[in-house]
Amino acid sequence: MLNLERLRTLDALARHGSVSGAAEALHVTTSAVSQQMGKLEREVDQQLLAKNGRGIRLTDAGRLLAEHAARILSQVELAQSDLEAHRGQVVGELRLSAFPTAARGLFPTALAALRARHPALRVRSSELEPENGIAGVVRGDLDLAVVLDWYNKPMPVPDGLVKAPLLDDPAEVALPTGHRLADRDEVDLGEFAEDEWITWGEGEFCHEWLMFTLRSRGIEPIVGHRAAETHTQLNLVAAGLGVCIAPVLGRHPVPEGVVMVPLKQRVRRHVYVVWRADADRRPSIRAAVQALRGAAAAIA
């Protein structure tokens, strides 16, 4: 009889590609991962792991069993969802993530509401960029992820995930108070061809969106500074170091020395929550989506 926890360990190794990555995902030590894999190899009487430089790789037998393990664990999750739905109680553990401004703007209200309404539900939250949040849900490391895309650059969502909208998040341009356009009622992106931009980290979805959008207007962006957090970006703007795009979600309070000016063209982020379709019937998923929508409605 195959041990479910050992199959879960093998699945984590296959998804993360290392003992340390599997240990972090499973919240155990690397020693515990190695011990579980040793027991599983003895259980199936085949070598499942082989050394690969300083790391490890799955053998052919390991990959074969990992494919079965992924299907078995998906069925177990579906069974748990059905049992939880049959019982109709919001209990157990829920793991969710959000990109930084959504964590700041939505999580305090939503998670406080969940705790008040469902005290038997244990919630663990983290900040993750949208791509990492989606990947975490696909792998099963997360139950839900709050993610985003932009009006002109959608975020692909893999098959097997359910997607529910939370809010549309309008964005404006943040300017230093002494900027030449600071007294305007609205501005056009084309007017910032000579300005330095304060943007997100290289490769992040929002940074790539900004580069794509400016270049589509014939502007080769001048990137002066990078910061993951909206408030860091706004403080750099206040210091006169450039301009930035500032969505409404999570940006308040706006620091002194910054003027928010609307754009002539409609610029919005679409914020939504995703979860695995095989967990769709879990009352805890539905409760979390309801709490997130309540927090979003308060902002909208």
Say yes or no: 72 and 110 in one domain. no
Q: What DSSP line would sit under 252-279, residue for residue?
A: PSPPTTEEEE-BSS--EEEEEEEEEGGG
Residue 198's φ and ψ, nearest 5 degrees, are -105, 120
Return the pLDDT at 228: 86
Same domain, 273 and 193: yes
Q: What is the structure's pLDDT at 19?
A: 87
Point out the domain boundary residue: 28, 59, 85. 85
DSSP designation for 121: E
CATH number of the domain at 171, please.
3.40.190.290
Give the span between the Cα atoms of 29 and 150, in whole angstroms: 39
Residue by residue, pLDDT tens for the chain (300 residues) are 788 888 888 888 888 888 888 887 777 888 888 888 889 889 888 898 888 877 788 899 988 988 888 888 778 777 776 666 656 678 888 999 999 999 999 999 999 999 999 999 999 999 999 988 998 888 788 999 999 999 999 988 888 899 999 999 999 999 999 999 999 999 999 999 999 999 999 888 999 999 999 999 889 999 999 998 899 999 999 999 999 999 999 888 899 999 999 999 889 999 999 999 888 888 899 999 999 999 999 987
Other C-beta atoms lying within 10 Å of the C-beta of residue 53: 6
Written as one letter, the residue type at 95 is R
102 — phi, psi (to 5°)?
-75, -35
Buried b (16+ CB within 10 A) or exposed e, 184-217: beebebeebeebbbbbbeeebbbbebbbebbeee
Last residue of a domain, one of 48, 64, 85: 85
Domain boundary among 85, 106, 133: 85
Domain of 24: which CATH number? 1.10.10.10
Tokens for 264, please give them. 């002539």
C-alpha dist (Å) from residue 45 to 62, 72, 245, 294 = 12, 20, 58, 52
Please tell me whether residues 56 and 113 are part of one structural domain: no
Give the count of domains, the chain.
2
152, 107, 158: which is closest to 291 by C-alpha? 107
Here the tokens at position 44 are: 């199936």
Same-domain check for residues 60 and 136: no
Residue 248 DSSP symbol: S
Are 146 and 191 within one domain?
A: yes
Enter the tokens of residue 290. Answer: 């309801």
Are both 21 and 131 inside the same structural domain?
no
pLDDT value at position 194?
92
Burial annotation 131-146 (CB, 10 A radius, 16+ → b, else e)? bbbbbbbbbbbbbbbb
pLDDT for residue 3: 86
Domain of 44 in residue numbering reads as 4-85
123 and 49 share one domain: no
